[in-house]
Structure 1
Amino acid sequence: MNVWRQLLAPRPKTHVARTVGRTLLGAMLAFAGIGHLTFARVEFRDQVPELLPVDPDVVVVGSGVAEIALGAALIAVPRRRVPVGLAVALFFIAIFPGNIAQWLGGKDGFGLDTDAKRFVRLFFQPLLVLLALWSTAAWRDRPRLGARRGASRSRR
């Protein structure tokens, strides 16, 4: 319980550049999520790896809802930016296999109509993970388990 309390505790304010980055990332996620549910649904469905034992439409809708929620949280819940930033980073890692599947399967989508373009896109996913961690200062302000363990021992 103590870990969750510290994870959800408000963190120190961040620099304006981080706030702008967090807000832009949130807007981008929300827009992509809306695309999952509306105008780009077919293109997103084509990117779902065939190995997943789930209907691609379910994956697209689920990831779209998650993107909208994460994007909204990045923008509207700055006091919880650390756990939200960690969740966004994990989300970007979780959807990376879809990018790999698009490249390996040679599937066009979103202007990625060559193997070279699809391959270059793979290098942007780690940048999104880093942007999520940097813009929320999640890595800097994350609870440090070792520090908590030491503090709990000193209270005994």
Structure 2
Amino acid sequence: MTNRPNPLTVFLADSPSAEEPARAVARIALGSALVFAGIGHLTFARQDFQAQVPDFVPFGPDVTVLASGVVEIALGTSTVFLKRRRAAIGLVLAAFFVAVFPGNLAQLINHRDAFGLNTDQARATRLLFQPVLIAWALWSTGAWSALRRQRAGHPS
């Protein structure tokens, strides 16, 4: 039996203090975009975001949009400002992007216009961007690197 660390150890450990400039810029840009989108959920784009809420969501579209806006602001702020636990934040952020994917899919399936996406082709193209957001979250926060370290048996 090998003496492997707990898989979560690497994600709950402090993130390295040194950060590549490109990674820092990408992380700050992503976090800032999330804060902007979250503010949009609460204010100027609220109705557009409501158009994306799938029918199967148990809460009404307005509650869902408001809650997701608050979550986006919290995630964006954490992504930009919290140096510790960046890898864990990256995992949560990637999971969030997976969780909101059904809303983007519902917009396509139900042919709902919002955000200038007024054709099925435009809505389908947007779906292709979701994996990019997931990869961006994992790379810019160092979550991918942390996962590689964990798999190699080096928790820090």
Name the TM-score class by shorter chain: 0.7 to 0.9
Residue equivalent to 1:17: 22
Residue equivalent to 1:144: 150
Structure 1 length normalisation: TM-score? 0.88
Amino acid at match of 1:71: G
Amino acid at match of 1:75: V
Q: 1:7 Cα shift?
A: 2.6
Give matches, 1:5-154, under 5 Å.
6-12=10-16, 13-142=18-147, 144=150, 147=153
Q: 1:37 Cα shift?
A: 0.4
Residue ranges of structure 1 left out of the alignment (5+ in a row): 149-156
Q: 1:78 Cα shift?
A: 2.0
Amino acid at match of 1:104: I
Distance in 1, matches of 2:40 and 2:64, equals 13
Distance in 1, matches of 2:124 and 2:92, equals 25
Distance in 2, matches of 1:4 and 1:61, equals 31
Q: 1:9 Cα shift?
A: 1.7
Q: Secondary structure at the match of 2:51?
A: helix
Residue equivalent to 2:3: none
Q: 1:105 Cα shift?
A: 0.5
Distance in 2, matches of 1:99 and 1:126, equals 12
The root-mean-square deviation of aligned C-alpha atoms, in Å, is: 1.7
More helix by share: 1
| Deviation readout 1:18-54 (Å, 9 max, x if unpaired) | 0000000000000000000011111101110012121
Structure 2 length normalisation: TM-score? 0.88
Q: 1:145 Cα shift?
A: 6.6
Percent of aligned positions that are identical: 50
Q: How many residues align?
A: 147
Q: Secondary structure at the match of 1:93?
A: helix
Distance in 1, matches of 2:36 and 2:118, equals 22
Q: Would you say the 8 A contact 2:10–2:146 is kept in 1?
A: no
